[in-house]
Amino acid sequence: MSTRTTTTAPDFASKSVPRHLARGAIGLALIGGALALVPVVGPVALLAAPLALVAFRGCPTCWAVGLAQTVSRGRLERQCADGVCTLEKRPRTPVRQ
C-alpha cells in the first residue's frame, strides 16, 4: 500500500518559470554590477551584493534548486511504501472545458 507523504523541506520554487528566470537575471545582474563597479565607485558598490541574495532567495545554488522545483512542480509525485520512497510522474487528469 502506498501512501502520499508531505515533506517539510524548504520550497524555493516560484509561481512560474519566467518569474523564476527573471529573479535569476536580476540576481546575476546585481552581482555582476557590484563587482564591475568596484574600480569606479569603490567598496560601496558591494552593497548591491546582498540585494542579489534577496533576488536569489539565498545563494545561487538555492536559486538553481528552486528552478528545478518550479519546472517539476505538479509533474512529479513522491510515493513511499514500506520505507522506500520513489518519484513518479503524476498521472494526467483530463482538462475540463
- pLDDT value at residue 25: 95
Helix, strand, coil percentages in the chain from 3-state DSSP, rounded to 5:
55, 15, 35
Q: What is the pLDDT of residue 11?
A: 75
Q: For each of the chain's 97 residues, which pLDDT tens digit applies?
A: 444 555 556 677 778 889 999 999 999 999 999 999 999 999 899 888 899 999 988 888 988 988 888 887 767 777 788 888 887 776 666 555 5
Here the cell at position 53 is: 541574495
Instruction: Name 3's bridge partners.
Output: 80
- Domain boundaries of the chain, sorted by first residue: 14-89
Q: How many angstroms separate the Cα of 15 from the Cα of each of 4, 27, 51?
A: 23, 17, 21
